């Protein structure tokens, strides 16, 4: 049970996405929450790090594990502004994370295209949290990119 609302934490993830936006990265942000406390914040850095694996979720998982001193995130919740891709879904499976809350759906590359079996059966999932804000930021980014 979180003391803060889902919207509170998703807003923190959105702040991360906005940092990505400012840095010319596809604006996706994530935070990992454990016992009502943010233990990791990350944003997409594929351009800056020149690394296709540097999605917000991947960096957040690694950072959260460092913070906990445990590679399993069994009592943690990931808030991410966009539905995770297959790579990130696969990483979330391995992490045994307790909950995944995401903002906008990603009908093109989201893991749910493949099926819910991507994540660990114990992981609770909910999408659509502040989805509009996330979509708006992404649309703004791609609009700017096309100019």
Task: Please pick, from the candidates 39, 42, 80, 85, the single residue that binds a copy of itself as defined by CB under 8 A.
Answer: 85
Helix crossing, 131-146 with 6-22: angle to 10°?
10
Residue (31 or 59) nearer to a copy of itself, CB? 59
x-marked contacts with a copy of itself along 94-133 as a string, rule CB under 8 A: xx------------------xx-xx---------------
72 binds a copy of itself (CB under 8 A): yes
Concatenating the DSSP letter of every residue in 38-77 gives: EEEEEE--TTTTT-TT--HHHHHHHHHHHHHT-S--TTEE
Tell me which stretch binds a copy of itself (CB under 8 A): 22-30, 43-51, 74-82, 122-130: 43-51
Residue 85 is given by DSSP the state B
Site size with a copy of itself, rule: CB under 8 A: 28
CB 59 within 8 A of CB 45: yes
For the bound state, the minimum distance from the C-beta of residue 111 to a copy of itself, rounded and expressed in Å, comes to: 8
Distances (CA, A) of 45 to 7, 21, 74: 24, 10, 25
Residue numbers 47-66 binding a copy of itself by CB under 8 A? 50-53, 58, 61-62, 65-66
Q: Is residue 22 annotated as a catalytic residue, yes or no?
A: no
Q: How many CB atoms lie under 10 A from the CB of residue 11?
A: 18
Tokens of 126: 């909910």
Binding site for a copy of itself (CB under 8 A): 46, 50-53, 58, 61-62, 65-66, 69-72, 85-91, 93-95, 114-115, 117-118
């Amino acid at each position: 049970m979180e003391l803060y609302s889902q919207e509170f934490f998703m807003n923190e993830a959105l702040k991360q996405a906005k940092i990505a936006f400012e840095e010319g990265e596809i604006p996706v942000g994530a935070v990992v929450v454990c016992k009502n406390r943010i233990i990791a914040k990350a944003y997409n850095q594929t351009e800056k790090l020149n690394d296709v694996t540097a999605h917000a979720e991947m960096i957040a998982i690694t950072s959260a594990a460092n913070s906990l001193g445990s590679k399993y995130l069994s009592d943690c919740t990931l808030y991410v502004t966009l539905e995770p891709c297959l790579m990130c879904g696969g990483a979330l499976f391995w992490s045994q994370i307790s909950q995944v809350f995401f903002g906008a759906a990603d009908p093109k590359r989201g893991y749910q295209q493949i099926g819910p079996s991507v994540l660990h059966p114990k992981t609770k999932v909910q999408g659509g949290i502040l989805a509009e804000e996330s979509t708006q930021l992404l649309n703004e980014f791609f609009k700017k990119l096309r100019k």
